[in-house]
Amino acid sequence: MRSGFLRRRLFRRTGIALTALLALALLAPILITAAGAFSRAEWYGQRSEGAEVDSTPKLFRYVLEVWGRALLRSGQIVAVVVPLALLIGAPAAWAFRRLAFPGSRLLEAAALVPLAVPGVALAFSMIQCVQGVPRFWLLAAGHLAYTIPLVVKTVGNAVETFDPRLEDAARSMGAGRLETAARITAPLLLPSLILSALLVFAVSWGEFNVSFLLAPPLLQTFPAALYLTYTTNSFPVAAAATLVFLAPVVPALIAIQALGGEEFHRGLPA
């Protein structure tokens, strides 16, 4: 018995150590990058930006100056994509569970299809066949295709976990459909709606595959700007730009984990 207990403890400790090691391996390059933005060292190599970036505040000011437009563009996209993804995805997810209609299962499956379609392929097809739509909205549509599935899944799971009799009770006590939706359904689904919004934000903020092809050169989003930084700027500038990119993502991720973002894994763009 005693040796079994010890072995179990060893198993547990080894497992935790391995997990910590994996987390550390994933974090290591990010930490090195962060250090790069705040320190000076010989191995940075040549700098094309010269005296413009010789101190940390100047470095970040330079990044914001050069990539401010792309940052703004990403902000605009996120501001459009987050509410639209919720407005399109959440009512549908609720309907799939509560008001099934002929073909609703098929539609639900269809909503998840984009996750298995490579971003470049979808972006290319969109450019080829949609003409006359402003590029901004094309870009937003590309983002929506990859974020709506997350909303459908997250909200769908949440609808399954609460008792439909709560809605029935409200109805039988005289509440109309709208009142039931506003006072029973929406509050119960609120956590999953917040989680969905955070997921959509995190995915849309980092999306590159679709954005890079769909956005015209002057309307590039911030991840595309990162590509330009990585290929043209020196390491400190690239590192600072990376930190600017990460700044809103890290709090969002912490919030997602705190809310239990189990549906987070699937279908994120790479």
Partner 1 sequence: MTPRAHSSAASWAGALLALPLLLFLLAAVAWPLAHLVRRAFLEDGEALRQVMAAGRYRTALVNSLALSAAAAVTALLLALGPAWILARERFRGRQLLRTAISLPLTFSGVLVGFLIVVLLGRIGAIPKLIEALTGRQALEGAAYTFGGLFLGYVYFEVPRAVMTLESAFRRFPWELDAAARTLGARGLERMLRIGLPIAAPALRSTLAVTFSASMGSFGVALILSRRFTVAPLEIYTEMTGFLNDEVAGALCLALALCTLTVDRLLALGKRR
Q: Which of residues 74-113 bind partner 1 (CB under 8 A)?
A: 87-89, 91-92, 94-102, 104-105, 107, 110-111, 113
Among residues 207, 220, 243, 244, the one that binds partner 1 under rule CB under 8 A: 207
Residue 36 makes contact with partner 1 by CB under 8 A = yes
Per CB under 8 A, which of residues 47..76 are in contact with partner 1? none
Burial of 50 (0-12, 13-18, 19+ CB in 10 A): exposed
- In order of 44, 66, 172, 225, 264, the CA distances from 206 in angstroms are 26, 19, 46, 11, 14
> Considering only residues 6, 64, 79, 121, which one is a binding residue for partner 1 as defined by CB under 8 A?
121
User: Considering only 26-34, 47-55, 67-75, 188-196, which stretch makes contact with partner 1 by CB under 8 A?
Assistant: 26-34
Give the separation between CA 139 and CA 134, rounded to whole angstroms: 9
Interacting residues with partner 1 between 152 and 191 (CB under 8 A): 152, 164, 177
Angle at CA 191, nearest 5°, toward 23 and 168? 140
> Among 117, 169, 182, 190, which residue sits at the site for partner 1 (rule: CB under 8 A)?
117
The nearest distance, CB 130 to partner 1, in angstroms, is 7
- Four-CA torsion 213, 29, 202, 156, nearest 10 degrees: 110
Which ranges of the chain does DSSP label H, i.e. alpha helix? 2-38, 56-98, 104-112, 119-129, 135-161, 164-172, 177-180, 186-206, 209-214, 222-232, 235-258
Taking contact as CB under 8 A, which single stretch among the options 51-59, 72-80, 187-195, 258-266 is the one that binds partner 1?
Answer: 258-266
Give yes or no for residue 249 binding partner 1 (CB under 8 A).
yes
Which of residues 45 and 174 has its CB atom nearest to partner 1 in the complex? Answer: 45
